[in-house]
Amino acid sequence: MSKYALFTSMTDDGVPLINREISWLSFNERVLQEAMDDSNPLLERLRFLGIFSNNRDEFFRVRVATIKRMLTLGKQARKQLYDDPEELLSQIKEVILKQEVMFDKAFKQLIKELKNENIYFVDDEHLTPEQEQNVLTYFKETVRPTLVPLMLERGKPDLTDKASYLAIKLYDKGEEEKAKYALIEIPSQILSRFYILPQDNGNKYVMFIDDVIRLGLRQVFKIFDYTTIEAYAIKLTRDAELDIDQDIDESLIEKLSKSLNKRKKAAPVRFIHDENIPADLLELLTKKLNLKNKEDIIASSRYHNLKDFINIPDLAGKRLSFKKQQPRRHPELNNKRSLIDVITKKDIMLNYPYQSFSHTIDILREAAIDPEVTAIQINIYRIANNSKVINALVNASKNGKKVTVVVELRARFDEESNIYWSKRLQENNVKVIFGVEGLKVHSKLILIERGNRTDEDGRLIAHIGTGNFHEGTASFYTDVSLWTANPKISREVHTIFSFFRRNYSPGNYEELIISPFNVRKRLYELIDTETKNAKAGKPAHIIIKLNNLVDTSIIKRLYKASKAGVKIQMIIRGICSLVPGVKGISENIEVVSILDRYLEHSRILVFANGGDEKYFICSADWMGRNLDNRIEVTTPVYSKEIQKDLRHTLELQLKDNTKARIIDQELQNNYKSMVGKKVQSQAAQYAFYKSKDKA
């Protein structure tokens, strides 16, 4: 029996579901599999450990924190979770502990394999005299100035969950009752978490900054004369949900800024400590941090915050990392005098990161100086730290264009960044709209207006995509973007931006599927049409590519379609609450999840429609929050050429027998069997676009 077999739930009317939290943990285990996959380069495997660790931190900050809040709701909580929250927390802990064993095993294996490449992780107790002197010099000159110890006898620690800490015990042997205690934050947000020592006979040595600090502790506490100074890693994770006060006299920015400050002091949901920490030091910390629930206190290893492996330095040239894949130029946009003119003649799809995100920046830059362009509108959820998108919008405003930016301030963990960019835009006379009251704006829209044109064709240029306007994530998230001058679609994008300005009038939509206005009606119709066609003997199939599938009402309709004989193929990267392969319920549904060097993020839908296939791309996953509590946009794709490309992408992924895992009712995460020719869909996708350069 699988370790997950007990985690299948039933709705009140007997519909089988995988609990979303358990399914998410299963997804994160697939990330861990990538760290254990020896077909990946060694340093990339370490980076996958970092991604796993970062994911797990966020899981505790958001999902575990939410379940703990629901403990007080009783029966109402079970309706929301389809599980008792207390039992669910116990199941989560069980899975987390098993994954921790897997993580430690993977980490030790990677350290061993790195030695075979003459790369050694060393700690403060295993240095040569020359290395020790080098490290102490680095500590004195670089690390020591960043450290501000807090003495714990009187001080009250105010730990942030972005950092890890060293808890210090200072004492003389035999007089431990007179010990002093202190706390030092590991400055991994200021300095690299890893210190690279000088090479020795071709050998490379890496040291956690934690151990650099351990070695230098006598310099830090030299005013004391204790014989023994010990340091133990600790980390606190806090509830990251935002409580926005409902004070109508405060602006949203003021409310959010207050709430962000509250987050820094929010309730703890997890406290991790070195398993070797002395009992007296642990007792003092739990008291100082007001940790009352023993279930939240977890013994762990010597190093925490291993998300820093995501930024592990390049230790072997490019030999131990993925070979760089330069994004390809779109043949229709490459070296063209006017990109906007190209789009007025035909729809263009961009597929990141296989194709360059710079095309979108170039289109915005062109719009910023084009005399015919009178206005640019865009909605922003997440953007890069040094955003070229923002720079193009600011320049457009300086050039006299009317620029409107809809900024979602409640993009989790990007709130502070979005507040900063909002202020910068406003300083440059850009009209900023702060989302919609009660709804997150998660759509990916741009509208370029050429107001001097009297003809309808080409007056409005619209962008609808699956990913954020973020140059950074566009290099490792797979997303698709549609640029179109189709009047029916572009007019409806214009209607959405009108809604952002006047929330009382959502508008009418015939082409676009908009959450929360017509999304359920339209999706139900699309699925039900396949069910009717299957019963009538007509072609009936559905292909669904999403990040997450959780919504119970849609799952029920998919089960109904499966019973009617509709073949349903699904590529779900993350959470999948639907249980595939259940006889009499979902035997016609197959689900795979693909994890590889790029994060699968594009959302694509195909419906047989009786033989005349319908294609869509969308910003929304099929979760209650996306369908009912956010502005999301799904657009039809009419270009036969683009449909062919989308079909090619989906078929590659459905044929993947290298990085695809089968999702089943026991969440075993078995790799898809190698049948016939090896297919690694992401590598094949890049090769496909590379071949277009020569066509």
90 or 483, greater pLDDT = 483
Q: Predicted confidence band at 292 (pLDDT cuts at 50, 70, 90)?
A: confident
**Would you place residue 455 in the very low, low, confident or very high pLDDT band (cuts 50, 70, 90)?**
low
pLDDT score at 15? 83
Give residue 12's pLDDT. Answer: 62
Domain spanning 514-694 has what CATH number?
Answer: 3.30.870.10
Are 548 and 622 within 8 A, CB to CB? Answer: yes
Catalytic residue among 330, 442, 494, 601: 442
- pLDDT greater than 60 at residue 249: no
Tell me how far apart the alpha carbons of residues 476 and 469 are, in angstroms, rounded to a whole number: 13
Report d(CA 344, CA 459) in Å as an integer. 9
Q: pLDDT tens for residues 495-531? A: 999 999 998 889 999 999 999 999 999 999 999 999 9
* Domain extents in the chain: 5-113, 122-311, 339-508, 514-694
Tens-digit pLDDT profile for residues 307-344 = 999 999 988 877 899 999 999 999 999 888 999 999 99
Q: Kindly report the three-state secondary structure assignment for every residue of 423-483.
A: HHHHHCCCEEECCECCEEECCCEEEEECCCCCCCCCCEEEEEECCCCCCCHHHCEEEEEEE
Superfamily of domain 339-508: Endonuclease Chain A (3.30.870.10)
Q: In the predicted model, what is the mean pLDDT of the chain?
A: 90
**Superfamily name with CATH number, domain 122-311:** Polyphosphate kinase middle domain (3.30.1840.10)
442 counts as catalytic: yes
Proportion of the chain above pLDDT 70, given as a percent? 92
Write the burial class of residue 301 (CB in 10 Å: 0-12 exposed, 13-18 middle, 19+ buried). middle
CATH number 1.20.58.310 is the correct assignment for the domain at 5-113:
yes
pLDDT at 225: 87
Whether the per-residue pLDDT at 251 is higher than 90: the answer is no
In this predicted model, what pLDDT tens digit does every residue of 371-408 receive, in sequence order? 999 999 999 998 888 899 999 999 999 999 999 999 98
| pLDDT for res 411 | 61
Question: What is residue 256's three-state secondary structure?
Answer: helix
Band of residue 66 on the pLDDT scale cut at 50, 70, 90: confident
Does the pLDDT of residue 82 top 70, yes or no?
Answer: no
Give the Cα-Cα-Cα angle 224, 286, 176 (nearest 5 degrees).
Answer: 35
d(CA 466, CA 463): 10
Domains 5-113 and 514-694 share a fold: no
**Can you give the pLDDT at residue 5?**
44
In the structure encoding, which two tokens stand for residue 50, read together?
């970092």
The answer to whether residue 8 scores a pLDDT higher than 80 is no
In sign, the C-alpha dihedral spanning 202, 206, 211, 215 is: positive
Those residues with Cβ within 8 angstroms of residue 314's Cβ, 6 or more apart along the chain or in another chain:
43, 321
* DSSP calls for 644-688: HHHHHHHHHHHH--SSEEE--TT---EEPP--SS---HHHHHHHH
pLDDT number for residue 2: 42
**Could you report the per-residue pLDDT of 646-675, keeping only the tens digit for each?**
999 999 999 999 999 999 988 999 999 988
